[in-house]
């Protein structure tokens, strides 16, 4: 691991210690929450108030400011979950296992939001709530993968075993990620093609684009906050018989 600078390596090494992780994240979350709040207010103001109505879609296009960031996050969180699961599988790092399973519920939430807001956007624009096309179907499979991960984890009592089983499922499911991403290029679909990631020439005006990017960053902060909250709960439950949790309880 000669590529990782020493202080960064040291930081990750310390974060793998449960009491340090619990204490550090407890102090980190308020800062992240303030940044998130600032970004989300700016993004919503830009998206709902400042951005002009779309010349084709009118004001219905404003669903983009939650639909697209959620859809991006549904993929991003899955990849984080699979990588964390893989790290837990190989190096048996308990905190990696916890980050993986704590990501699952947040990822499922983002996927659910992407599907529901997409449906609510599709109805006035396409005239239908749902079509069985490649983009929508592969995103629905992503939701089932997340629910599978959560269900499998809950079904196995020994949480170390459960984490290993979940990591394998998550890693196998990674095959779905490129399918979702390229579905609008590989197959004919009602879903519109990418508007933002064509970085050379995005087909969206800057006044509509900046709130979208701000919301995307805000959702990243949200993910870290929600995932850490879940991880802290998971950690104290798993470590309930350890000395540091007992000390934590006595100090209350």
Partner 1 sequence: MNWQEFFAMGGYAFYVWVSYAITFVVLLALVIMPIIQRKQFMRQQTLRLKRQENP
Report phi then psi at 76, rounded to 5. Answer: -60, -50
Alpha-carbon gap, residue 237 to 2, rounded angstroms: 35
Q: Kindly indicate which of the ranges 83-91, 196-204, 206-214, 242-250 contains the residues binding partner 1, using the contact rule CB under 8 A.
A: 242-250
Q: Site map for partner 1, 20-59, x if CB under 8 A?
A: ----------------------------xx---x----xx
Over the Cα atoms of the chain, what is R_g?
A: 20
Q: Kindly indicate which of the ranges 110-118, 158-166, 181-189, 195-203 contains the residues binding partner 1, using the contact rule CB under 8 A.
A: 110-118
- In 25-141, at which residue ranges do the beta strands (DSSP E only) sit? none
**Does residue 9 touch partner 1 according to CB under 8 A?**
no
Cβ proximity to partner 1: between 89 and 230 the closer is 230
DSSP string over 118-136:
HHHHHHHHHS-S----HHH
Number of H helices and E strands in the chain, helices first, is: 9, 0
**Does residue 14 touch partner 1 according to CB under 8 A?**
no
Is residue 13 within 8 A of residue 239, CB to CB? The reply is no
Cβ proximity to partner 1: between 124 and 178 the closer is 124
Please, which residues have CB within 8 angstroms of residue 190's CB and are 6 or more apart in sequence? 122, 126, 131, 133
For the bound state, the minimum distance from the C-beta of residue 108 to partner 1, rounded and expressed in Å, comes to 9
Name the site residues for partner 1 (rule: CB under 8 A).
48-49, 53, 58-60, 62-63, 66-67, 70, 105-106, 109, 112-113, 116-117, 120-121, 123-124, 222, 225-226, 229-230, 232-234, 236-237, 240, 245-246, 249-250, 252
């Amino acid at each position: 691991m000669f590529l990782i600078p020493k202080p960064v390596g040291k930081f990750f090494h310390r974060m793998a210690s449960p009491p340090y992780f619990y204490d550090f994240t407890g102090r980190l979350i308020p800062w992240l929450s303030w940044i998130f709040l600032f970004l989300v207010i700016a993004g919503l103001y830009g998206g709902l108030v400042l951005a002009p109505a779309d010349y084709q879609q009118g004001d219905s296009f404003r669903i983009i400011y939650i639909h697209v960031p959620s859809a991006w996050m549904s993929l991003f969180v899955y990849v984080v979950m699979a990588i964390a699961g893989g790290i837990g599988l190989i190096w048996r790092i308990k905190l990696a296992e916890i980050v993986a399973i704590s990501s699952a519920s947040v990822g499922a939430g983002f996927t659910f939001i992407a599907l529901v807001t997409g449906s609510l956007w599709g109805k006035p624009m396409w005239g239908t709530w749902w079509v069985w096309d490649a983009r929508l179907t592969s995103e629905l499979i992503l939701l089932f993968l997340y629910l599978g991960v959560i269900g499998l984890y809950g079904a196995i009592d020994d949480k170390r075993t459960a984490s290993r089983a979940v990591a394998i499922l998550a890693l196998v499911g990674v095959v779905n990620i490129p399918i979702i991403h390229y579905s609008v290029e590989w197959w004919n679909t009602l879903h519109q093609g990418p508007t933002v990631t064509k970085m050379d020439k995005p087909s969206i005006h800057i006044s509509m684009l900046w709130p979208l990017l701000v919301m995307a960053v805000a959702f990243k902060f949200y993910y870290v906050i929600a995932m850490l909250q879940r991880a802290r709960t998971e950690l104290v439950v798993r470590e309930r018989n350890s000395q540091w949790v007992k000390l934590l309880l006595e100090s209350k």
